[in-house]
Chains A and B, each alone.
Chain A
Amino acid sequence: AAAEPRCPACAAAAERRLLEEAAKRQLLEKLRLRERPKLIHAVPRAAVARALRRLQAGGARRGPEEEEEEEERSYEIISFAEPEPRSPSGLGLRFQFSHTQDQDIHILQAQLWLYLRVPQDLVTSLTLRIFPAGGEGEVAGGNRTLLSEQQLRARGSGWHTLTLMPTLQSFFEGEGRTLRLELEGHGDGGDIMAMVNASWSHQPFLVAKARLREPGHHMAKR
């Protein structure tokens, strides 16, 4: 700033630029990001608002374990489903998480929120299967590891919450970054695709509460 010409307005502008750069650097460093994220696709505002309201309504109470380990940073992640081309037996919903190799992620809680549009007078039952999906094309056929399978009964339209905790923990320790869910309807459930993503303000999403430990954390503690 000293090199800048001596005028009050210039000094103020120089200070503003300096502080804006400092603010950017501090935020990226504290959020452990190398650069600001470039958003590949925008999530509909309605879906964001609905997910945040859901999160607030079903806000997880803090267990003693979380209170005791307060200094480790915790994250709450909402991941919106990206629909995939229809697979033979249902609908694939792709979620993407990513964390760098040197971060040890410990999942505390994980839930899937699914909105099913079912005619009022109909009761349908579904089987939900969860697979890790590696590269883009590794979807159809091929030997996939079944992470979890759950039965679901739906009477009329509404949100359904499924706990995925044990599944996600093993998934996160592996190499995979994409989680793939498949739904299969039984009886005259009609078209699963129509049921799940009837409108994009009811986009399925995954809520995970995770805790991040840096390498050498315990050494620092000692």
Chain B
Amino acid sequence: RPDLIAMREAMGIMQHHDAVTGTEQQHVADDYARVLDIGFHDCDDITASALSKLMGSSEPLEMTNCMLLNVSSCPLTENNDDFVVTIFNPQSREVRPLVRLPVASTTDQYTAKCPQGKEHPTQVNALPTDVLVIPGRPGNALGELTFLTGCIPPLGYKSFYISKTSKPKHTKKPRIFTPSEPT
């Protein structure tokens, strides 16, 4: 419960109409973001121990969640050839999301395997140049790995073992072309 205090305080502060509508001064908006960020990070231990309970493992899991996926930045997926992504479904019905994760290069191929060893089709696209130049965007991701998870059970999770493969996979590489000059 102590880990939850920061997030509860954040939600308390942000009942204010300024926080809801964005009519606060800039420095106040920046402070709201700071308070929320602390709240999220304080919740990491709670979610890790909740997931380890779900997984039935005794010790809390070593997991991070990337807070900058909205600018396609994630040190863990950019700097590791092999990593595990666990996807938790907070809904009471199954979902089939498309997972998109930033990766360092655009030429590497990756495999995505579920615990049963089944390979899920993956695709690596180059990130648009406009994303690469977002001011302040950290990291060095140039590509984006996408794959389909299949069904993720209600209030459940599914883990995938992602590994970079040296040999090009059987899937056709994305075709890139620009239509004829606009008429």
A binds B: no
- What is A's interface to B at a CB cutoff of 8 Å? none
